[in-house]
Chains A and B, each alone.
Chain A
Amino acid sequence: MRLYKIEYPGATPKLMKLDTDKGPIKSVELGESGRGRVHKIIPIIGEGPEVRAKRTDNGIVLIRGNWEDTDRALVIINTVGDYDRFRNYGLFSAEGVEEVESGFFAFGEAGRLPGGPEMLAVVKPGAVFKLNSKYTHTWYMFTKEGWVLETPVERRARLALLEVEQGGGEWL
């Protein structure tokens, strides 16, 4: 499975490089440490271009290898981004998304201002979810060809056209 990262709501998912100039990455981190927060470190072991998540008694491990037998993908989703006073953070209207592990970001010294999760999830083709950003929200769709991002207006336009194509709607 390929490993993607969505750095903040509205960001395009990027394929994570497992090998850097300083050598292979040893782990991925979710959330942050501190009061009212949850920090998780997920180790990466092995060699290969792709990863697979394995659940053990002591937590999740990502194992590298040639896992080309699946069209699913792993994705790290940061649902928070910047602070916004009245925003609901989280993953909304999710379908085809299986959460594997999650950390937690919060705001304020005591972590009591609104916060949200950063999660590692498995997505299968056709998966769809929504992330809120400051002024709008963004729809993410994972397909066999890759990721498709839509604004709310674009999504409604596509669905309206699809409905008419399928013979729905009311003609004036």
Chain B
Amino acid sequence: MAVKTPHIALTLRGNSVKKAMRVENRIIPFKPHWGINRHNSSLLASTEEDSLQLVVYVAKTKNGVVLVSCSEEPQRELVLVQEYETGSGAKKWPGFRVNFGDEVCRLSRASTCGGSGCETWTLVSAPLGWAENIASQFQNVRDVESQSISYNPGVILEKLPDPFEKEGREIAEAVTRLLGGSADKAYQILEREYNAGYGRASRQAALIRAIPGSEDDPVAVKLVHATTASTLNNLLQQALAYLEKGIKSNDPLVEDDEADGLMAAAMRKAGLI
């Protein structure tokens, strides 16, 4: 009988490791933020399910990789590595590359073919802790050179603070407040615009429409008037990460006193407390 190794499914992009992999029409889609992908016909992986569990079995076939959800203790990581070079509007931000060593098994790959910036997504099977190790070494700081990172099992560096983390958190709280205290609704709206395929201006217009009062709110205005696509993406990403954490832990979305006051007021207004 074939031995199947349970893998935990992760997405690695720069210094961010997400415990999930996006599935669309039963395919792991290649949707780069930079560059264009109209020539791409590479299949990253397919699955029979509409959404993947956190732990999966992995099969290699001659037509591509197949993922099957399972509920066992993971023994390895299945990582979707999103390497990128930033494009127009974010040239001062570092690109992210990974040097794949013998410790990983590369399964599939998809690349952009032109446009501004470029991306290569690679699906790899790696030892546990690999993605976190790579992410901890990447410095996502403006004016720092692009980095090509190798797995260094002896070192887990303390993560540098993401410059968008604080702003993202503030925005998440502001949007939740503007939507009457519903973190789920805020998450849905922000996620839809984060995943939207159209441009920055259209996404911002959609956000203004979906979040009443966002154009006048001093915090939310950072989101709806972000000057580059990259900034908008980073803000949305951080806001989503913060909201996700709050929703999962079922905690109030705030930590400091000032924000707690705003949140509590919004929740009181909505009749939630």
Contacts and interface: CB of A to CB of B under 8 A. Distances in A.
Interface of A: 135-136, 151-154, 156-161, 163-164, 168-172
B155 interface: no
Given A164-B61, A169-B59, A171-B59, A157 B43 contact: yes
Contact of A136 (B25, B41, B61, B76): B41
A171 B59 CA distance: 4
B7 to A, nearest CB: 7
Given A156-B43, A157-B43, A169 B61 contact: yes
A47 B26 CA distance: 46
Given A153-B42, A160-B46, A161-B48, A172 B5 contact: yes
Nearest to A165: B48
Interface residues of B, number: 31
Nearest to A159: B63
Contacts of B39: 135-136
B164 interface: no
Given A153-B41, A157-B43, A172 B58 contact: yes
Interface centre among B3, B25, B64, B65 (most CB of A within 10 A): B64
Given A171-B2, A171-B59, A160 B65 contact: yes
Contacts of B47: 161
Interface in B6-36: 7, 25-27
B61 A163 contact: yes
Interface string B67-80: 01000000010000
A39 to B, nearest CB: 33
